[in-house]
A and B are shown apart, each in its own frame.
Chain A
Amino acid sequence: MQPLLELRGLTKDFATHRAIDTIALAIARGEFFSLLGPSGCGKTTTLRCIAGFETPNAGDILLDGRSLVPLPPYRRNVNTVFQNYAVFPHLTVQQNVAFGLERRGVNNGAITRKVRDALALVELTGKETRYPNQISGGEKQRVALARALVLEPELLLLDEPLSALDPKLRKQMRIELKTLQARVGITFLFVTHDQEEALSLSDSLAVMNSGRIEQVGTPRELYRQPASRFVAEFLGEINWIDQVALRPESLNISKNHPGGGIKALPATVQTTTFLGNRTQLRTTLANGRECVIEVQDAAQNIGPGEQVHVWWRTSDEIHIPNP
């Protein structure tokens, strides 16, 4: 099946550096796809190339098999939700959402109906006549979403849309975003530096690092079988033990050696941190390396300074080619 969006050898140079370097990517229709990476990795530049705000130096961007590159942003059937919302301060909520429809010359009756539906979708009914300075950050975020979704784009680009919200609201919006995407069926391309966000929201994701894509796959694949040390370390904490990598939750701890046939190493507990649903223990192995362990049960009276054994199942080991 033809992908909805395809990037072929996409490259973008700025005056002093190469922001993205021959990227190839395919996103299926209806997918929630995330571009995950640290700041400066080129994920936002990639998004801006797709939206049309940047012109790539090489490569092609295909939407439904047709190149977007020659089209200006206002002719692309792609819409963006900006990091700082970019809601027009001189227009009311309603006028903001109607902006794109007016540009398309949609008749007034249809505009009124579509704006009403879009505002209902993001639960902003009743705020139509408010100006952006009269609503909260979360509400502005919804206006930005409604404003883009009302145009029924083939692809919605979201540039770190949750990063400006406070943590509690961020988690709530995360769930809403996922529900919303499933309901409208529009393909989402979501850019974030937050691995928890990317893992929890995406059908598939790509991890980017200094202008290149490190790995593409489902959240589970990337977390369980990272293809590089960078991916392994970016997607959460990881311990390096004898050429293999282990996630903190794959490690167990006991005062005595767990018995024959099980891989185990002696360690000294440094700190224990109660995290509610789990307990995190920072330990030091015999070779001096730090090892982080997370266990479900509240670490049966094991305290700092105690000598313990760290053990794991061979099936939980992560083998990374050329780490």
Chain B
Amino acid sequence: MRRLRAWFLLPGATIMAVLFFAPLLIVVLYSFLSRGAYGGVELPWTASSYTRVFDSLYLAILWRSIWVSALSTAICALLGFPLALYIARAGSNRTLLLNLVMLPFWTSFLIRIYAWMFLLRDTGLINSFLLAVHVIRQPLPLLFNTGAVILGLVYGYLPFMVLPLYATVEKLDPSLLDAAADLGASPAITVWKVIVPLSKPGILAGSLLVFIPCLGAYLTADLMGGGKSVMIGNVVQNQFTTSRDWPFGAAISLLLMAVALLVTRVIGRKGEQLL
């Protein structure tokens, strides 16, 4: 049995080694090489990319990415919590509602972002309607700003918040809610004093699943931010495409990874204390 178990590990371990650790090693090596004239990398070895990473321009973008991701995560939690609670109490409709939460995954993320752009742009559905009913005279600037990026991120990652929250809330012992009511807590107080504190592991798990991908997001920022709302993911993308500075792109992506690991560590510790 023990030998069989080792075999079970093999497919996953192989994939991780070939498709994750090997590329990661390549990224680390690239970050210490010199920039090639037409992209790519050349000798000699150097750490100059890392000194550039700490340029105030890039740190500002990194900081901006962090708060945009944090704000998106917070909004996801605020929207996701009541939703998860509702689904957990929905009885026989639960499966249907959970499927609806996952429904967006049936289409490509790119297509869904384009759909949002069609809704939000100056000649889009929302602005056209508001103009037609004379609520506004000029189209509202709904697209190509930070607000639009946050909207896109919240939209894209909300299911990743709802699912772990649902898993936690669904397991809550219903007699604890009865007990709270019995001891004089109104439903709102019960949510705040009992359900939220007991859902912390789910909130932390959901926050990690939303925050980390938001931090590296570039598609949403690129399309809905319209280049004005630059996030660190876009900087990485640019270094490998237009700027043709692979070592620098590699160095920034490693910095991003360091931030993500740090956040995971901090939240993970917090989670351990709770359990």
Whether A86 pairs with B173 at a CB distance below 8 angstroms is yes
In the complex, what's the smallest C-beta–C-beta distance from B123 to chain A, in angstroms? Answer: 51
Given A88-B194, A89-B198, A103-B189, the answer on whether A82 and B181 have CB atoms closer than 8 Å is no
Interchain CB contact under 8 A, B181 and A100:
no
The total of chain A residues at the interface (CB under 8 A) is 25
Q: Does B186 make an interface contact (CB < 8 A)?
A: yes
> Are A86 and B181 also in contact (CB < 8 A) when A74-B186, A103-B189 are?
no
Give 1 or 0 for each of A69-111: 1 = CB within 8 Å of chain B CB. Answer: 0001111001110111011111000000001100110000000
- A72–B188 Cα distance when bound, in Å, is 13
A73 to B175 alpha-carbon distance, docked (Å): 13
Do A103 and B185 have beta carbons less than 8 Å apart?
Answer: yes
Complex CA–CA separation, A79 to B178 (angstroms)? 11
Q: Once the chains bind, are A74 and B181 in contact (CB under 8 Å)?
A: yes
Partner of B182, one of A79, A87, A104: A79
A289 to B183, CA, bound (A): 53
Taken together as a complex, chains A and B put the C-alpha atoms of A84 and B178 apart, in Å, by 12
- Chain A residues with CB below 8 A from B183, complex form: 74, 79, 99-100, 103, 147-148, 151
Distance of A51 Cα from B185 Cα, bound (Å): 13
Which residues in B have their C-beta under 8 angstroms from that of A89?
Answer: 176, 198
CB of A53 within 8 A of chain B?
yes
Interface centre among A79, A82, A90 (most CB of B within 10 A): A90
B89 CB to closest chain A CB (Å) equals: 14
Whether the pair A52, B184 counts as a contact (CB closer than 8 A) is no
The answer for the CA separation of A53 and B175 in the assembled complex, in Å, is 10
Report Cα–Cα, A84/B175, bound state, in Å.
Answer: 8
Q: How far is the CB of B103 from chain A (nearest CB, A)?
A: 29
Name B residues whose Cβ lies closer than 8 Å to a Cβ of A: 173, 175-176, 178-186, 189, 193-194, 197-198
Interface residues, chain A, CB within 8 Å of chain B?
51-53, 72-75, 78-80, 82-84, 86-90, 99-100, 103-104, 147-148, 151
Can you sample 29 A-B contacts with CB below 8 Å?
Answer: A51-B178, A51-B182, A52-B182, A53-B181, A73-B182, A74-B183, A75-B184, A79-B182, A79-B183, A80-B179, A82-B178, A83-B175, A84-B173, A86-B175, A86-B176, A86-B178, A87-B179, A88-B176, A88-B179, A88-B180, A90-B198, A99-B180, A100-B184, A103-B183, A103-B184, A103-B189, A148-B182, A148-B183, A151-B183
